[in-house]
Amino acid sequence: MRLRALLNTDALGLRLLGGEDELDRTVRGVMTTDLKDPSRYLSGGELVLTGLAWRHDAADSEPFVRILAGAGVAALAAGEAELGDIPDDLIVACARHRLPLFAVHESVAFATITEHVVRQVSGERAGDLAAVVDRHRRMMTSGPAGGGPDVVLDLLGSDLDLRAWVLSPTGRPIAGPAPGLAADVCAELAAEHLTAARTGRRGPHRVTVGTTAYSLFPVRGSQGRSGSAAQDGRETVLSDWVLAVEADAGDWPAERLDLLQGVTQLIAVERDRRDAARSVRRRLAQEVLELVQTGAAPAEIAARLRVAAPVLLPGLGAAPLWQVVVARVEWDGGEIEGGPVAQSLLEEILVPPVSAGPEHSDRIAVAHTDDEAIALVPLPAVSTEHDGPEPGILADTLLEAVREPLSAGLDDDGRLTLGVSAAVHSAEGLRGALEEARHARRVAAARPGRVCAAGHQELASHVLLLPFVPDDVRRAFTARLLDPLRDYDRRHRAELIPTLEAFLECDGSWTRCATRLHLHVNTLRYRVGRIEQLTSRDLSRLEDKLDFFLALRMS
């Protein structure tokens, strides 16, 4: 806004004391100060409001005005409440430095002027940004020249002082200013978004993380706006991106809310473009999967993989390793097809972080069949002399990254289970990797929780067998061994069950177990003797130790 507009606003009661030729200056903000030197807080273009408390005598006016003029402020407005008429020395100093000077009547509060300026400046900046956003929308919809969501988020920061980030439903940062949000903040914001979206409430959703307020705007692609996927909100919730704005939108005017909705539409265009780019990789994965499942010859599968490798890992000379990840989304009632949802989720889960660099960008190929999604993950080939950690994706790492947000999205009527295979070197090994990943997913499905994962390492452990023991057998086995100890603990508070667990975890070492439980060794021997007496077992025998171990695992 311009100074002339301020002067012509009767409600502000401003009186011009000098600088009539400068009334076309633009006001970009407002600041109230009584500091002798407020330069550190000025960036240029402000209307400075002062009560003149900094002025002790006439000599103070010249340096004060010189500082304001040097900082490039738009004008000075001095209140009459403290000294009555504005001192002549201040009027002379402002004239010398060509700084417009207003007198503020004692009946007008500085807060009234501040509110008016902020409202006008924000409205004008929002209008300017809306025009830019509209131009950017046309650029993005007509081709890739728009620059993606980062350009739009930069505009929000520079024109409206709003810091904003785009997050996937798993909490993965997709775009936004640096420094980015901490990983735990991203996960919490994604969880809050999914929880709010499941209620059906319209965004923005306002949340506070720590002491910072955020407003969350859903970003829905074309699948979320129309078509079969829009028939059930549970499907689109797990695939929506979210625009997280570091501000509380509760008191925003309708114009600003409409502007942010326009920004989400721009980001949705970019999301649709990325989905389209994934279609080639999806088709490759579907073709390889069909060959593997129909028992095609390894040579035929290998030929298809040779076609896939340059698409998924361009510029890679050696043949890569391959890893398989299987995901399944299930809903209570079973009326929703989980395969497409699992496919979209798996693509988001497996995308490497931005910090991995462009060479590790979105190269995952995911197919789906029925309620299952299957990812074909290429890994750079490693030397035969490689003796470091096993390459590839770890089930625990996947689970840690997505458990919090996706548990909120699945709420109390859905489950996501993941299985991860070992890395294989050939097409012949791919069939085994697929079965391995499916077995691991079934192990994960036997565990409690809304989001569970298991890896191939667990298939060589007793944990592979335990989930498939019939429930009645599990109950009978654990009851026979542990119920006598539970009954005794309940009557005597003897803590035999915790003692048994610690004894087994310490591999039967009396000293280590006594230290861990803060007991004398004789007290530990007494408790173990009582366990053996109640169960007719001998904890010095490997077979009995194993039975107790399995009973505790199944209880």
CB neighbours of residue 476 within 10 Å: 11
Half-sphere exposure of 254 (CA within 13 A, CB side): 0
Predicted local distance difference test score (pLDDT) of residue 452: 86
Could you report the average pLDDT of every consecutive run of 10 residues in the chain (555 residues)? Answer: 84 88 85 85 85 89 93 90 84 93 87 79 56 52 55 77 87 84 87 79 83 88 44 62 89 78 78 76 83 82 73 55 86 68 82 50 74 82 51 72 70 80 80 85 82 77 58 79 92 92 89 91 93 91 85 81
Predicted local distance difference test score (pLDDT) of residue 128: 53
d(CA 531, CA 541): 14
Question: pTM for this structure?
Answer: 0.57
Residue 176 has φ and ψ, to the nearest 5°, of: 150, 170
Show Cβ contacts of residue 419 under 8 Å, excluding neighbours closer than 6 positions. 325, 326, 327, 395, 436, 437, 438, 439, 440, 441, 442, 443, 444, 453, 454, 455
| Domain 311-468 CATH class label | alpha beta
d(CA 16, CA 344): 63
Predicted local distance difference test score (pLDDT) of residue 453: 87
CA dihedral 237, 239, 245, 246 (to 10 degrees): 80
- Buried-state track 110-140, b at ≥16 Cβ within 10 A, e below 16: beebbebbeebbbeebbeebbeebeebbeeb
Superfamily of domain 3-108: HprK N-terminal domain-like (3.40.1390.20)
**Spatial contact of 418 and 398, defined as CB atoms under 8 Å apart:** yes
Q: pLDDT of 169-214, one tens digit each?
A: 888 888 888 888 888 898 888 888 888 877 767 778 888 998 899 9
- Residue 114 identity: T
Q: In the chain, how long is the greatest CA-to-CA distance?
A: 104
Instruction: Name the helix (H) or strand (E) containing 376.
Output: strand 372-379
Long-range contacts formed by 435-439: CB under 8 A, 24+ apart:
436/324, 437/324, 437/325, 437/326, 437/374, 438/326, 439/464
d(CA 323, CA 21): 73
**At what angle are helices 254-293 and 149-160 packed, to 10 degrees?**
160
State whether residue 84 is helix, strand or coil. Answer: coil
Q: Would you tell me which CATH number, out of the four given (1.20.140.160, 1.10.40.30, 1.10.10.2840, 3.20.10.10), belongs to the domain 471-554? A: 1.10.10.2840
Predicted local distance difference test score (pLDDT) of residue 61: 93
Predicted local distance difference test score (pLDDT) of residue 393: 74
Q: pLDDT of 373-416, one tens digit each?
A: 898 887 766 544 444 455 667 777 777 777 777 776 676 677 88
Predicted local distance difference test score (pLDDT) of residue 334: 57
- Domain positions in the chain: 3-108, 311-468, 471-554
Rg (CA), the chain: 34
